[in-house]
Structure 1
Amino acid sequence: MGKHEIIGCERCGARIECKANSFTKCQCSEVQLNLNEMEYIATCHDACLCANCLLALQHEYQQSLIKT
């Protein structure tokens, strides 16, 4: 089996191992996002994000709902 690509998180720059070809084993699959959260994140980011940033953006989105 070949190695996965090491990339930088688009938001924080943390080095992550991209496993797009094995999505269920990728660190980003640990974060459960609903459709609205995914759309919110997609408005600002086009590339891979680390699990910590996904969690932070999920929280940011949920907080924006409370403020409105």
Structure 2
Amino acid sequence: MTKHENKYCPRCKEPFECKVGSILLCQCQGISFTDQERDYIRLTYPDCLCRKCLMAMKHEISTTAVREKMRTILEAIKKGTQ
């Protein structure tokens, strides 16, 4: 029997159905994460997140990563012009 759980997202507190026993039908299906993104989410939240929050986290992580790369590049350029 397929296991479905009614849960509340620990990030936004909204209810959602987790289909852990039927991963191909789960709301998280189709969202791909790098190992680092997955590890960050796993370490930040103790349980499954709703799809909306997973997408938001992915965006936040990528935005933060891009900002960090830009900061590193700009610092290197600044050092090279001094």
CA distance in 2, matches of 1:46, 1:11: 10
Please name the residue that 2:47 is paired with.
47
Unaligned runs of 5+ residues in structure 2 are: 69-82
Where 1:49 maps in the other structure, the secondary structure is coil
Q: Does 1:11 align with 2:11?
A: yes
TM-score by length of 1: 0.86
Letter in 2 for 1:50: C
Higher Cα radius of gyration: 2
Q: Which has the higher helix share?
A: 2
CA distance in 2, matches of 1:9, 1:31: 16
RMSD of aligned Cα (Å): 1.6
- Deviation of 1:4 after TM superposition, in Å, equals 2.0
Runs of 4+ more than 4 Å apart: none
Aligned residues: 68
Quick check: 2:3–2:22 contact (8 Å CA) kept in 1?
A: no
Identity level (%): 37
